[in-house]
Structure formats: structure tokens, C-alpha cells
Amino acid sequence: MPKKAIILDLDNTIYPVASIGNELFHPLFKMIEQSGEYTGDIEEIKKAIMRTPFQKVASAHNFSDTLTEQGIELLTGLTCTMEMAPFEDYDEVRAIPCKKFLVTTGFTRMQQSKVEQLNIARDFEEVHIVDPRLSNQTKKSVFKDIIDRHNLEPTDVLVVGDDPHSEIKAALELGIEAVLYDKLNFNPATTTLSRITDFKQLHDFI
Ligand SMILES: [Mg+2]
């Protein structure tokens, strides 16, 4: 059945976090290294921070409460001012003639600044930033809300994102078809999910 709407993730779906990560997170990485209040390898932690919400990384690497709080405080005020560009195949998404919604999890100011630097707000009917510090919303509750308000059926919608444990899981739980956009080859071996590595392949799901 043709889709009426696409819900997209932002980080590592529309642009690669690694393209800005070292610059953006430099003060955070310095804070973590200087504190020494973590377990595991600092390079692994840096990589994880570019792929996973900070709170999850902090918990997985046993950050002290102080370090966690200071990290959150720092991230709350952090914005992207550097030049940013979408993945080269993002134009394929722009060209798809159905309603698009952006749903991203993270710190409100930071996520908002990314949308501005990427100049993508005009591509979307609605932009939703799920900020766990500010509300109990989840990607799943936002997806449900979009479907209800726009009189859509779950089968009318396609969710596209890079994280099997976030937007992909939320979509499947709601009976929404989901595609793993794995441009960066994070999950090469998945056999249970629909996986694409270029937005050109999205046409097969629309
Ligand atoms: Mg993502």
C-alpha cells in the first residue's frame, strides 16, 4: 500500500554525527577525560556518545553522578554553530512526494541548532524534539500522536532511522513499517530488519 507519510530520525539518518562530533563534543570529552570518573575505554566512550543518548552512555560506563550531572548541564547549553550538510543522498528523500515528519531525541537547543544548520525545517510538516529531561514523551508516543492527529493508519506510515533500539523498535511496536537506514554500516548483519544503505532504495518501501 502506498505510504502517505514518512517519519525520519535526525542523527546519523539525515547527516553523520561524526562530521561534527569531535568539534561539538570537545568540551564534553575533555570533561570526561579529566574527571577519570568512568569505566571502559575513552575512545569507545567517544564513539558511543556519537551514536547513543548521553544518559545511556553515562550509565553503561559507570559515570559518577557528578560527572553525569555536569555532562548533562554542559550538553543542555551546547549548540551547533559549525557548517553542517545532509548525507549526499538526502535529496532522494526531499523528492518523495509525501508528508514528512522529523522526530529526534536529544537536548532541545542542540537538536534545534542542527535543524537550523542543516536547513531542513522546510522539508517537514512537523519537527519534534523528544527531550527526556523536559517531558515523558518518547518517540513511540510522538509517532502515535502524529498518526492520530493526521488521521493516518499505521500502515500509511514508514519510519526511517539508523537505530534498531530506538525509532525502529518504536515503529514496529505500533505496527508501523520501519526501514533501517544504515549508511554508516553500524548493523551490517541484521537479518530481521529491512535495511538500506542509500535513500534511493527507499522507493521500494513507499
Ligand atoms: Mg539516529
108 and 199 assigned to the same domain: yes
Hey, how many other C-beta atoms are within 10 angstroms of the C-beta on 143?
A: 23
121 and 179 assigned to the same domain: yes
Across the beta sheet with 5-8, what order do the strands follow?
Answer: 126-130, 99-105, 5-8, 157-161, 177-181, 194-196
138 and 65 assigned to the same domain: no
22 and 11 assigned to the same domain: no
Q: How far is the CA of 131 from the centre of ligand 1 (A)?
A: 14
30 and 132 assigned to the same domain: no
Retrieve residue 158's grid coordinates: 514508514
Q: How far is the CA of 171 from the centre of ligand 1 (A)?
A: 14
Nearest to 164 by CA among 177, 176, 178: 178
Residue 82 domain flag: no
Q: How far is the CA of 31 from the centre of ligand 1 (A)?
A: 24
66 and 110 assigned to the same domain: no
Q: Are 154 and 5 in contact (CB under 8 A)?
A: no
Nearest to 114 by CA among 127, 96, 125, 97: 127
pLDDT(1) > 80: no
Locus of grid cell 513507499? 206
What is the domain extent for residue 54?
18-77
- Domain holding 147: CATH number? 3.40.50.1000
Of 54, 77, 100, at which residue does a domain stop? 77
The pLDDT tens digits for 83-116 are 999 999 999 999 999 999 999 999 999 999 999 9
**138: DSSP letter:** -
The pLDDT tens digits for 192-203 are 999 999 999 999
Longest dimension (CA), the chain: 54
pLDDT(32) > 90: yes
Q: How far is the CA of 11 from the centre of ligand 1 (A)?
A: 4
Locus of grid cell 527507499? 202
Element (H, E) at 159: strand 157-161
Work out the mean pLDDT of the chain and round it to a whole number: 96
Band (pLDDT 50/70/90 cuts) for residue 51 is confident
Give the contacts of 135 (CB within 8 A, at least 6 positions apart).
none
CA-based Rg of the chain, rounded to a whole angstrom?
17
53 and 125 assigned to the same domain: no
Q: How far is the CA of 8 from the centre of ligand 1 (A)?
A: 9
Q: How many whole angstroms separate alpha carbon 89 and alpha carbon 39?
A: 38
182 and 197 assigned to the same domain: yes
Q: How far is the CA of 14 from the centre of ligand 1 (A)?
A: 8
The pLDDT tens digits for 118-145 are 999 999 999 999 998 899 999 999 999 9
24 and 123 assigned to the same domain: no
Residue 166 domain flag: yes
41 and 141 assigned to the same domain: no
Q: What is the pTM of this model?
A: 0.94
State how many domains the chain has: 2
58 and 130 assigned to the same domain: no
69 and 100 assigned to the same domain: no
Residues in a beta bridge with 159: 7, 178
Q: How far is the CA of 50 from the centre of ligand 1 (A)?
A: 9
